[in-house]
Structure 1
Amino acid sequence: MKTTILKFALFSFALLAFSQVNAQDKKKPDPEKMFTTLDTNKDGTISLEEMKARKTKKEVSAEAQEKRFAAMDADANGAVTLEEFKTSMAKVKGKGEGKKKQE
């Protein structure tokens, strides 16, 4: 009887953990939608000014925004293309997954 209860509890815990992971997967941002939102003048690129004008949940310093923009602007031409943006998002995603695995 105790074994059955223990198995049920472990199964319930595993199911709960899986559902939380599944919910996190659904919340992942779509890079194309994010890019379109940031590209306010709709020229197909994001400028530093467009990036600085975005509204964020927490305040980000101009210096931090400039560093982030420079990291995204792979060819250093002053504009971030959709491909550069996707590449940058993939790098950030990879770093976040590495942290989760270590914890």
Structure 2
Amino acid sequence: MSKRILSVGLAALIATTAIAGVAQARGEGDRERPSFEQLDTDGDGKITMEEMQARGTARFATADTNGDGLLSAEEMMATSEKAKERRVERMIKRLDANEDGQLSIEELQAARGGKGEGRKGRGFERIDADKDGAISKEEFEAASAKMGKRGHGKPKAE
């Protein structure tokens, strides 16, 4: 194998592992977080860098559906779509109180802790600076600017 192919492959592996690590830290990703036992492939009670890299290599190989050692945009999109499908399936399974395979607005609100409560309700309360139960244009713009500064998006230009 040439040094260039090896270097490109290693760079792709490192990038894939880093992206997967960030996604896992955020609670994202297309699979459940692996257990210690799954990562400790030799069963010695320790996870080595080689064992972590082997997991990354295996994930790369799974995404490389044509086996050419490269990830095309199509392969990456297919992997992303599969991950989205699994997340949606898990969400429906978790929130579908009547087990009909669909989510109603009532089931979604119940999952949030009721209308206006839960995480989204707290977000509304934070934006409603004067606590009058409504968000004014000024409050909206202040919240948008604050979110833009934290990296949650860019404030809209008028």
By relative contact order (CA 8 Å, sep 6+), the higher-ranking structure is 1
Query: If the TM-score is normalised by the length of the shorter chain, which range does it land in?
Result: 0.3 to 0.5
Hey, which of these two has a bigger chunk of helix by percent? Answer: 1
Greater CA radius of gyration, 1 or 2? 2
